[in-house]
Every structure is written in C-alpha cells, then in structure tokens.
A = this chain, B = another copy of it.
Amino acid sequence: MAGSTFGTIFRISTWGESHGKGVGVVVDGCPAGLPLCEEDIQKYLNRRKPGQSKFTTPRSEDDAVEILSGIFEGKTTGTPISMVIFNKTQRSKDYSEIASYYRPGHADYTFDEKYGFRDYRGGGRSSGRETIGRVAAGAIAAKLLEVFGIKVTAYSKAIGDVEIDIKNFDIQERDNNPVAMPDKEAALKAQELLEEKMEQKDSVGGIVECVVTGMPTGVGEPVFDKLDARLSQAIMSIGAVKGFEIGAGFGVAKMCGSENNDNFAVDHMGNVYKKTNNAGGILGGISDGSDIILRAAFSRHHQFSHHRRQSIRIRKTLR
C-alpha cells in the first residue's frame, strides 16, 4: 500500500533507493510566486553529505539536485515540483555479501517478510539515502516558512552520554564541527567518544533537538491532526528514530502539575505570553505562539563489516 506521501495542502511524495538510478521527490501544493532555484535546495543537501568527516559513512557521493518542473522564470508556478538527485556512486561490489544477510537493526528482514524479496544493495528504500527527497522538499518548505517569519533550527543535543551545556550554547558553532553540536567543548568530547567507539568498531546513539521560532498561534487541527501528533509522525518516520518528545517531554512524567504549568501573563502591550514553556509551544495540539521545542532519539547499530560472522546467514539457511 502507498505510504510515501506526506501532507495534505503541501504534499510530498518521495521515491528512490540507495542503489537505484536516483532518489527524488515531488512537491505538490507549493503556492505560486515563490522564488526558487537549484541552489536553494543544494545548500541543504550539501549539509547531509556523508564523507564530510571521519565519523560518517565513507561513501563519497555527489548529490546534485535537478528541478524538472514547477518553476518558470525563477519562480514556482503552483504546479508540482519534481526534483531528482541521480545516484552517481553505485559500487555494487561493496554490498555483494549482504545479499545473504539480515543485518541486525536494519530492515532487511522485515522488507523480505513484507515484500517477498528485496533490493539487497545497501538497504534499498530503507537506507539513509531515502531522506534526500525529504531534505529537498524541506528546503522548499523552509523558504516558504521564511515568508511567514518562521525559522527551523536543529542540532545535536547529545551523542552517547555527552550532552551540550546550555551555558555554552552558540548556534554558529554547530556548523564548525562534524558532530553538529552548538557547544565547542561538548563537540570535542563527543568526537573523542566517537573515535573511541570507532576503534572498537562500535557506534553510539544520540538526540537531535529542533527549535521552531516565529510560530503564530492557532496552527494545528484537533484531534488527530494536532500539530505535535503530525510532527511526531514525520519525525518517527525517519530511519533509526526510536523516540519523540516535545517541551519537557518524558521529563513531565516526574513533574508535578505545579512545576509543569506554563503560567500566562499579559505584557504592557496587552499581548498574552507564557512565563515558561514546558509545553514546548503547543497546547491541545495547537501552537500557542511560543517556540516549538522537540527532540528525537536516534539509535545506532553495530557496523556490518564487523558482524558478518555474527549475522545469521539466513537467506542461505532458509531458502
């Protein structure tokens, strides 16, 4: 059954596997008149390129995006925008062994069970490259949100047991280190931790935090399309995400009502504001004007190359 579409008014349909000809997305519902060109998309794609540091996957890829429709004289026409990123690097020999394995933590097994057979090369549709289409669509969404003064910022909040310190928070720092931490000291510690794990051919998980500023009030549709519910669906659908929280998140479980309340106040202009923001910017599923603060927990799995003897040669065994 179809599951690669997200959104109602602004709708995206992603496609592509890691070792097919390319990956891409069709963005439908972007209003007409928004200035848009490949560069607006490319700058986001460049941030996700693996191989930029010794810590990320060593496959070198050129992810050059091409916009095939929906643009005229430099602006969106209001019709669907199709974007393609052709897969330049397709070294199948890298993956010749995994045809016979179900890698732990990967979807090899479940894809086989669901579809009957699978594209074993590098994870197919379940690979990280599937997110390229989302990033491209997100680039357009980001440009559109800017028009409304809304800005989305994300960074690594924690890697393993290394957490950023609010007191050292500097968003510029995020783009200066390979672990995307907006805290110079924590970034160094995290890199040390990762080097240690890499020597053990191991890896470690982490938490990404995302802040949305400039939100107007009133966005979100009770009941099932509450803003936090839809954000949650979107975030949980990213591979390796095992948890989503908003505001004080799982911390609210231990908080008393008195601690958790975000009390209202009125400023000298007559505007309503909240003194705290444990709710994370959303009340009853509708934005309340505060920043939206959300977090996602990413799991990591032991690298395949180390476990080939441990993985069960299931395909050879069963078939």
* Chain A contacts to B: CB under 8 angstroms: 1-11, 13-17, 20-24, 26, 28-29, 32-33, 66-72, 75, 77-82, 84, 102, 104-107, 109-111, 113-119, 121, 124-126, 130, 158, 160-161, 197, 200, 202-207, 217-226, 228-230, 232-237, 239, 242-258, 260-266, 270, 272, 274, 278-280, 282-289, 297-303, 307, 310-312, 314, 317-318
Contacts and interface: CB of A to CB of B under 8 A. Distances in A.
Nearest to A159: B253
B252 A299 contact: yes
Given A4-B80, A302-B258, A264 B218 contact: no
Contact of A246 (B242, B282, B289): B242
27 contacts: A3-B222, A4-B26, A5-B224, A13-B26, A14-B80, A17-B69, A26-B26, A78-B115, A79-B222, A105-B262, A105-B279, A106-B283, A107-B283, A110-B217, A202-B256, A203-B256, A225-B237, A226-B237, A229-B233, A230-B233, A232-B233, A242-B247, A243-B246, A245-B297, A250-B297, A257-B301, A266-B317
B252 A243 contact: yes
Nearest to A120: B72
Contact of A236 (B226, B250, B265): B226
A6 B256 CA distance: 32
Contacts of A239: 284-285
A311 B202 contact: no
A129 B219 CA distance: 22
